[in-house]
Amino acid sequence: MLTRRVSSVRRSASSPSQEPGAAGLDRRGFLQRSLVLGGLASLGELPLGTIREAKAGPPPSAGAPVEIRKNICTHCSVGCTVTAEVQNGVWIGQEPSWDSPINRGSHCAKGAAIREIVHSDRRLKYPMKLTGGEWRRISWEDAINEIGDKILSIRQQAGADAVYWLGSAKFTNEASYLLRKFAAFWGTNSVDHQARICHSTTVAGVANTWGYGAQTNSYNDIRNAKTMVFIGSNAAEAHPVAMQHLLASKEINRGNMIVMDPRFTRTAAHATDYVRFRAGTDIPLVWGLLWHVFQNGWEDKEFIRTRVYGMEEVRKEVDKWTPDEVERVTGVPPEQLKEVARKFATEKPATIIWCMGATQHTVGTANVRAFCIACLATGNVGKPGTGANIFRGHTNVQGATDLGLDITTLPLYYGLTEGAWKHWARVWDVSYESLRDRFDEVPAKAGRPARSRKENMETPGITSTRWFDAVIQPEQDVDQRSNLRAMIVMGHGGNTVTRMPEMLKGLEKLDLMVVMDPHPTTFAAIGNRKENTYLLPIATSLETDGSRTASNRSLQWGQQIVKPAFESKDDYEVMYLLAKKLGFADEMFKHIKVENNRPSPEDLLREINRGGWSTGYCGQSPERLQAHMRNQSKFDLVTLRAPKDAPEVGGDYYGLPWPCWGKPEIRHPGTAILYNTSLHVKDGGSTFRARFGTERNGQTLLAEDSFSLGSELTDGYPEVTMAVLKKLGWDRDLTADELAVIQRVGGDNVDTVSWATDLSGGIQRVCLDHGVMHYGNGKARAIAWNLPDPVPVHREPIYSPRPELVSKYPTRPDERQFRMVNAGFTVQKSAVDRGVAKDFPLILTSGRIVEYEGGGEETRSNPWLAELQQDMFVEINTRDAADRGVKDGQWVWVFGAENASKTRVKALVTDRVGRGVAWMPFHFSGWWEGEDLRSRYPSGTDPVVLGESVNTLTTYGFDPVTGMQETKVTLCQIRPA
Amino acid sequence: MRCVCRLLPALAVLAMLAVALVPAARAADPMTGANPTAQSVNERDLLNALGKLQGRITIPDGKAATLEQPQGREYRSFHERVLPWLAGIIILAVLAGLAAFYLIKGRIPAPPRDPGGRTVLRFSAVERLGHWLTATAFVVLAITGLNYFFGKRLLMPLIGADAFATWSHWAKYAHNFVAWAFMLGLLVMIVAWVRDNIPDRVDIAWLRAGGGFLDGSHPPAERFNAGQKLMFWGIVIFGLAISVSGVLMLFPFALLDINGMQFAQYVHATAAVLLIAVILGHIYIGTLGMEGAFQAMESGSVDLNWARTHHSVWAEKVLAEERAPRAGRPGTPAPAE
Amino acid sequence: MARMKFLCDADRCIECNACVTACKNEHEVPWGINRRRVVTINDGRPGERSISMACMHCTDAPCQAVCPVDCFYTTPDHVVLHSKDLCIGCGYCFYACPFGAPQYPRVGNFGSRGKMDKCTFCSGGPEPDGSEAEYVKYGANRLAEGKLPLCAEMCSTKSLLAGDGDIIAAIYKARVEKRGYGSGAWGWSTAYHETIEV
């Protein structure tokens, strides 16, 4: 396809004798000299000489070498390699990354424009501080000193929990890990990042089903699927490069591409079946689908028998969802759902793909549980072309989640138990007690008992969706020593949480606000802060190195493309400087090389490897990952595996997708498809994790007659501890060194040392040698008894457009979760009682557009992208628009159901949304209820495009398991402006 | 903002097609149950049905919403085939006709001068200014205008591409700016002369007599004879057509879409060629063709006898007014002395 | 000699606009100039399709025909290029172009639009290949480096194909045969007076 241009270029057709360049310049020079027309000239915009401005990025100048550097695009989780041409430290060009098996040269609008994000002159250039309402430039040294002094004094007055650490899904794995470790040393569990508001419910729901909360297969593996079901995923706009794999499945396999979505998305336009259903009725939809599956005997009985626990309970719930009731609640006609059910259950392999359309609900965790159960019922998991293909949001949102930027766990899902803390204390080589003593003691408040430091250390923090509630609510309602007083925000937009009018109150009340970001973000422009607000310029992800975990769990090592622009520093350096200021740098960086205040990301990854046994982050050494980036072309497009004989990476799956067991030296290839029993565990095979015990109510929780290829144990088995190993007699296979480490870890209780706490990796190594999965061989759980709804049940949204259904399907009772009260039931009841749905008759739902990402400050500052989307808009159905006299392109007010909120946006009249539904993108900010806040940004840092934030309008509602906010179903009204 | 989309006939047609194709869904929403792939549009059918493809875009440039406009083909064939031939034939034919007339009939001689050397003011200073403004502008516009399609055929081979591009660049600016002078002059002339160019009975007789061109007679005429009136109205109509279409082209896409812009060019070029033909005749009569005519627009005054010969009715009227002067009537100049 | 063509497989185009920003990135194209754009037909309804469109480098190109200063030329690869030194910014090529490819820096008082700019199939202009002067006026010259246009190379779904006409036609044909549907090679009959029969 590539054709070399053979002939030399033709000269200007009719002046072959002239030297073209010179002729052009001369002629233009002549014309410019002749411009004596004066007035006329200005009238006609005569400047003839300018063809266009030559900006950065001319062809490479002669002499200096052009270096190729690879990093990973930050704009979604697909993990596209960005190939940069760098000359004299300047990023002069971007080339297709043909070698990457993930993107194969491709990008979307954002990836293809990513060079501008680094070059952008709208970036924050130096530290700034708000003094008397004015932005002032300060030095880094002063900034760190002032911020450090302030948080130390807050700590003294209000405790460690009064400071909130909000991290970023654009961090590298190493930076994510570092911030989690930082919070541990600071003494709080209130450390969170974007996963809270994108896939926290997925992680919780999926992990509670079969062990790990991540995409089971990969983008590439979907090429094997015969049937794809999208629920709440608009991959064409959110994960465009993934679409090349998805469309390949549709085309090559003549597969079914079924899109179930309230909105006729760009993805739906390419579907073979489009099912429009009412937003917020995912569970009735899936149960309705399973009703047909069970009714027709399409379920995979053998799979259920051998590998699933509790499907009977599900059947009882599913039986309630007769086709008529499903149609009443969701609006989907029975015959259509039956057809979808038939395809999903019988035209296999089939996969379910979901995103935030499913997760951002008060029933988010239950939604994803229902999807998993649908996969289990039809045997669509643990094989190529099947599975729960969960498309995540940022470059490294998977990695940041794994590495514990989360209020409920230490890195790699160890949780917050004493055992977890002790494990990490051993890895960090610090004493457990010294960590414990950094936590607050919580006094008894409002009838709640006091918490000791140890108890507080084991108590999850406040979710990032509620931080402002923890600032503004009365102190006795906040279940910690005192209210939140300071926010330290690293790489997180200010328009990403719902209920922004209330967020604003919290923002204004904070004692300290620190924004560390390449851009000022919404936080800098919104609200009425005058003092104690700092902006620190941070390098973009492309200006720092480290590993990133894509949605498919592959780790990719990104190189620093260019040095951080202006006065920016990268996350590592800033965290080190702060730790130094706060006095725990020496302890925290005990085994990590620090050069010029910058900790080495390689060393950080090695430390992760040393402690990352639970999730298989132990085998991906920096050397192995760097070798993968060098050898990208060796990996197969569909299986992602390199041939056994390939140098450096032979037999590996691309990016050593976690879990990659054991020490790097044993060269586990990573796990491309989770729970795939048709492979040997040393080839990436695995079983469902025996995470929930061995027996319940007299039924076994271990697999029956199912085991991974070549396993020496040919039935289910529990997770492996030293005790189990001894029982099997395999402890003899441990080396003396391994045994020594295990004894050191176990102390008096060596038998309790498990595959996840054994710092030697010996237990894992021995198990793999015996073809056994050390985490056990369990059944997946159709019933998750530890969740609020063990079997997912339908619950109407807090602001339901169908109040008559609320009494039958109410939300869960009010309850205290994550130190705050979740008063969803009260709010829902009040909304029904007040008849809110009458005044606000339209469902408001939100989503993504391809040109922008997240809060959008970065992408809206990029002129190449900003040109593609000029204004914040609301999609309104043609009939709803006609009813309201709204014309396409005109300004309208959208009114929200809480806080008398309103936004002024442009109307996009379209049938993309059904009648009674309005849709808005979530990337805009910089306007507030009709007011343009451009002047509030520090001069020169305002994004090109500003607009109203949809979260000005979004309302109350939190998932009980993770505190996920409800962004997908609320109510609104629209009127012409 | 996904850019404002005009309500397209395309959508209407397709919507009808789509609705017809979807099996009657019983749900309230006709979309649910659709197979978007099977209902995919096909370029050829769309083009056949609509002739032009438009859709939705998100960039600010509204023109970009037109995906395909095969009408560019007609524009090209007009611009490259019809126009050069039309212009060439008409201009050459007029020139040939005038040359033939000159050769056969020669110059129309001026009548003997008024013995008293009396003159009458035929055109006021404002009228002459208007005329010459228009005339000069017209010459510039005609030359620079013809350059748009004859230049590359006639001039470029002689002077080379670069010099021709430079010339054309300036010719374009000249065309765009001088256009305003032309329009101003045209306006002045219309205001000044429209009253005297309203056709009446005298014109019928004049026309019956063929203007006397063939037999050398001088049928009676008012200030402007029927031939001149025809010329006037020709200039007004063609001139206005050129002006309106020209202004629309100076502000491209301000009011018109792509097909409108093409149409504006058709009008502009056709009217311009016809006007050039008319003006060539006018120039001929005003200079070579008729003795004494040029003087009228040069000095403004004509010999009384010339006036009596060529514009007898007007001359008598002027003389009568001279005898009984009335308060200045606009449009009718006061006597010279 | 290759005959360079573009082909947008609308059944794969998802309007991700990568082609648009790749073009901006490669050539530093300023705001308001859209050498390539994506148009969505039948938006928001079943049957919706998006098509990425730029200069198609037509056979017997209409722009070339109507240009009053003959500033266009066709390379041996049949890429239609133009000289900005010769261009007078009259706008005729835009009226003639079936695809709306020509772009002008200004809407312009009195039609002074500035020099026309359009897709070069990533192959620069009359100046020497890869020269600074060529870059400033026309952008990068990838063809001279043996590379194809970046828009197609970076296309997220491999919808946009660029290269030798016969080869991309064969790719498209194979695709349609494999998957069983195709909405046509958009613009081909207008640009090249041929279609791809499947």
pLDDT (average), residues B231-243: 93
pLDDT in tens, A419-446: 999 999 999 999 999 999 999 999 999 9
Q: Is the Cβ–Cβ distance between A516 and A857 less than 8 Å?
A: no
Q: Which residue intervals of A690-841 are DSSP H helices?
A: 722-728, 736-746, 762-769, 824-834, 836-839
Q: Indicate yes or no: CB of A912 within 8 angstroms of CB of C15.
A: no
For residue B177, give the chain C residue with the closest CA: C110
Position A322: which residue type?
Answer: T
Q: Which residues of A touch C178 (CB under 8 A)?
A: 251-252
Q: What pLDDT does residue B29 have?
A: 62
Is B51 inside any structural domain? no
Q: Indicate yes or no: CB of C49 within 8 angstroms of CB of B65.
A: no
Q: What pLDDT does residue B300 have?
A: 84
Q: In A738-752, which positions are buried (b, 16+ CB within 10 angstroms) versus exposed (e)?
A: bbebbeebbeeebee
pLDDT in tens, B85-96: 999 999 999 999
Find which of A51-55, A106-110, A527-531 is predicted with most confidence, using mean pLDDT: A106-110
* B36 in contact with chain C, both atoms CB, cutoff 8 A: yes
Q: Is the Cβ–Cβ distance between A637 and A223 less than 8 Å?
A: yes
CATH number assigned to the domain covering A216-390: 3.40.228.10
Q: Indicate yes or no: CB of B40 within 8 angstroms of CB of C112.
A: no
* B27 in contact with chain A, both atoms CB, cutoff 8 A: yes
* A16 in contact with chain C, both atoms CB, cutoff 8 A: no
Å between A847 CA and nearest CA of chain B = 14
Structural domains counted in chain C: 1
Check pLDDT > 50 for residue B333.
no
Q: What pLDDT does residue A22 have?
A: 34
- Domain hosting residue B147, numbered range: 121-323
Q: Among A52, A97, A122, pick the best mutation site for testing chain C contact (most C Cβ within 10 A).
A: A52
pLDDT in tens, C110-133: 556 789 999 999 999 999 998 999
Q: Is the Cβ–Cβ distance between A20 and C127 less than 8 Å?
A: yes
Q: Which residues pair with A72 in a beta bridge?
A: A81
DSSP per-residue string spanning B50-71: HSSEE-B--SS-GGGGEEE-TT
Task: Name all chains with 3 or more CB-CB pairs below 8 Å to chain A.
Answer: B, C
Of the candidates A612, A759, A613, which has an alpha carbon nearest to the alpha carbon of residue A181? A612
By Cβ distance, the residue of C43, C83, C154 closest to A910 is C43
Å between B4 CA and nearest CA of chain A = 5
Q: What is the length of chain C? A: 198
Q: Could you give the strand order of the β-sheet that contains A90-95, starting from the edge strand earlier in sequence? A: A67-72, A81-87, A90-95
Å between C46 CA and nearest CA of chain B = 4
pLDDT (average), residues A284-289: 97
Å between A251 CA and nearest CA of chain B = 11
Q: What pLDDT does residue A628 have?
A: 97
Distance of alpha carbon A136 from alpha carbon A132, whole angstroms: 10
Q: Which residues pair with A170 in a beta bridge?
A: none
What is the CB neighbour count within 10 angstroms for residue A669?
24
Largest CA distance in chain A: 99
Check pLDDT > 90 for residue A656.
yes
* A712 in contact with chain B, both atoms CB, cutoff 8 A: no
By Cβ distance, the residue of C11, C43, C187 closest to B56 is C43
* B106 in contact with chain A, both atoms CB, cutoff 8 A: no
Find which of A120-124, A604-608, B195-199, B295-299 is predicted with most confidence, using mean pLDDT: A604-608
Q: Is the Cβ–Cβ distance between A518 and A568 less than 8 Å?
A: yes
pLDDT in tens, A189-231: 999 999 999 999 999 999 999 999 999 999 999 999 999 999 9
Q: What pLDDT does residue A56 have?
A: 43
pLDDT in tens, A575-596: 999 999 999 999 999 999 999 9
pLDDT (average), residues A931-943: 95
- In angstroms, the first-to-last Cα distance of chain B is 72
Q: Assess whether the previous peptide bond of A323 is cis (omega < 30° from 0).
A: no
Q: Find residues 835-854 of chain A whose CB sits inside 8 Å of chain B.
A: 851
Q: Which ipTM did the prediction report?
A: 0.96
Q: Indicate yes or no: CB of A1 within 8 angstroms of CB of C164.
A: yes
Is C197 inside any structural domain? no
Of the candidates B93, B41, B120, B109, which has an alpha carbon nearest to the alpha carbon of residue B296? B120
For residue C186, give the chain B residue with the closest CA: B43
What is the 3 state secondary structure string of A342-371? Answer: HHHHHCCCEEEEECHHHHCCCCHHHHHHHH
Domain ranges for chain A, please list them: 4-119, 139-184+192-198+397-537+569-599, 216-390, 803-976
Q: Indicate yes or no: CB of C45 within 8 angstroms of CB of A911.
A: yes
Question: Which is it for strands A134-137 and A128-131: parallel, antiparallel or unpaired?
Answer: antiparallel
Distance of alpha carbon A183 from alpha carbon B179, whole angstroms: 74
Q: What pLDDT does residue B326 have?
A: 52
Q: Find residues 903-962 of chain A whose CB sits inside 8 Å of chain C.
A: 910-912
* A813 in contact with chain B, both atoms CB, cutoff 8 A: no
By Cβ distance, the residue of A30, A867, A906 closest to B59 is A867
* B173 in contact with chain C, both atoms CB, cutoff 8 A: yes
Distance of alpha carbon A558 from alpha carbon A622, whole angstroms: 11
- Residues sharing a CB contact under 8 Å with residue A43, sequence separation 6 or more, in sequence order: B177, C109, C110
Task: Name all chains with 3 or more CB-CB pairs below 8 Å to chain C.
Answer: A, B
Say which residue, A938 or B196, is predicted with more confidence.
A938
Place A108 in a pLDDT band, splitting at 50, 70 and 90: very high
Q: Is the Cβ–Cβ distance between A205 and A367 less than 8 Å?
A: yes
Distance of alpha carbon C102 from alpha carbon B56, whole angstroms: 19
Say which residue, B10 or A337, is predicted with more confidence.
A337
pLDDT (average), residues B166-190: 93
CATH number assigned to the domain covering A139-184+192-198+397-537+569-599: 3.40.50.740
**Rama region for C103: left / alpha / beta (φ>0; ψ in -120 to 50; rest):** beta
pLDDT in tens, A796-830: 999 999 999 999 999 999 999 999 999 999 999 99
Check pLDDT > 50 for residue A10.
no
pTM of the model: 0.90
* Local structure of B236: helix, strand or coil: helix
Of the candidates A283, A293, A273, which has an alpha carbon nearest to the alpha carbon of residue A330? A283
Q: Which residues of B touch A888 (CB under 8 A)?
A: 4-5, 7
User: What CATH number does residue B235 fall under?
Assistant: 1.20.950.20
CATH number assigned to the domain covering A4-119: 3.30.200
The domain made up of A803-976 has a fold known as Barwin-like endoglucanases (2.40.40)
Place B13 in a pLDDT band, splitting at 50, 70 and 90: very low
Place B325 in a pLDDT band, splitting at 50, 70 and 90: low
Q: Indicate yes or no: CB of A8 within 8 angstroms of CB of C11.
A: no
Q: Indicate yes or no: CB of B35 within 8 angstroms of CB of A914.
A: no
Q: Indicate yes or no: CB of A5 within 8 angstroms of CB of C144.
A: yes
Token code pair at residue A777 = 């061989």
Q: Is the Cβ–Cβ distance between A220 and A102 less than 8 Å?
A: yes
pLDDT (average), residues A30-55: 33
Place B31 in a pLDDT band, splitting at 50, 70 and 90: confident
* C193 in contact with chain A, both atoms CB, cutoff 8 A: no
Tokens 């990490």 sit at which residue? A424
Place B203 in a pLDDT band, splitting at 50, 70 and 90: confident
Say which residue, A27 or A685, is predicted with more confidence.
A685
pLDDT in tens, C51-71: 999 999 999 999 999 999 999
- Domain hosting residue C128, numbered range: 4-192
Check pLDDT > 90 for residue A25.
no
Q: Which residue intervals of A296-351 are DSSP H helices?
A: 301-307, 311-319, 323-330, 334-346
Q: Which residues of B touch A13 (CB under 8 A)?
A: 161
Structural domains counted in chain B: 1
Q: How far is CA A352 from CA A217, A232, A260, A326, in A?
A: 11, 10, 11, 20
pLDDT in tens, A748-773: 999 999 999 999 999 999 999 999 99
By Cβ distance, the residue of A40, A257, A274 closest to B31 is A274
Q: Is the Cβ–Cβ distance between C170 and C9 less than 8 Å?
A: no
Q: Which of A258-272, B32-46, B228-242 is predicted least confidently?
A: B32-46
Token code pair at residue A941 = 């840092």
For residue A19, give the chain C residue with the closest CA: C127
Q: Which of A77-91, A142-156, B213-227 is predicted least confidently?
A: B213-227
Check pLDDT > 90 for residue B215.
no
Q: In A673-703, which positions are buried (b, 16+ CB within 10 angstroms) versus exposed (e)?
A: bbbbbebebbbbbbbbbbbbeeeeeeeebbb
Q: Indicate yes or no: CB of B173 within 8 angstroms of CB of A44.
A: yes
Please state, rounded to an integer, the average pLDDT across all residues of chain C. 93
Token code pair at residue A701 = 């929780």
Q: What pLDDT does residue A59 have?
A: 61
For residue C163, give the chain A residue with the closest CA: A1
Please state, rounded to an integer, the average pLDDT across all residues of chain A. 92
pLDDT (average), residues A15-25: 34
Distance of alpha carbon A905 from alpha carbon A907, whole angstroms: 7
Is B29 inside any structural domain? no
Tokens 């008398």 sit at which residue? A900
Distance of alpha carbon A364 from alpha carbon A649, whole angstroms: 39
pLDDT (average), residues B21-31: 48
Å between C123 CA and nearest CA of chain B = 22
Q: What pLDDT does residue B288 have?
A: 84
Q: How many CA atoms are closer than 13 Å to the CA of B118, on its beta-carbon side? A: 14
* B179 in contact with chain A, both atoms CB, cutoff 8 A: no
Is B192 inside any structural domain? yes
Q: Find residues 45-104 of chain C whose CB sits inside 8 Å of chain A.
A: 45-50, 70, 73, 75-77, 83-86
By Cβ distance, the residue of B32, B161, B173 closest to A333 is B32
Check pLDDT > 80 for residue B213.
no
By Cβ distance, the residue of A23, A336, A868 closest to B58 is A868
- Residues sharing a CB contact under 8 Å with residue B213, sequence separation 6 or more, in sequence order: B105, B108
Distance of alpha carbon A896 from alpha carbon A903, whole angstroms: 8
By Cβ distance, the residue of B34, B42, B54 closest to C183 is B42
By Cβ distance, the residue of A3, A112, A911 closest to C163 is A3
Q: Is the Cβ–Cβ distance between A406 and A191 less than 8 Å?
A: yes
Q: Indicate yes or no: CB of C133 within 8 angstroms of CB of A2.
A: no
pLDDT (average), residues B143-163: 94
Q: Find residues 60-89 of chain A whose CB sits inside 8 Å of chain C.
A: none
By Cβ distance, the residue of B34, B58, B177 closest to A40 is B177
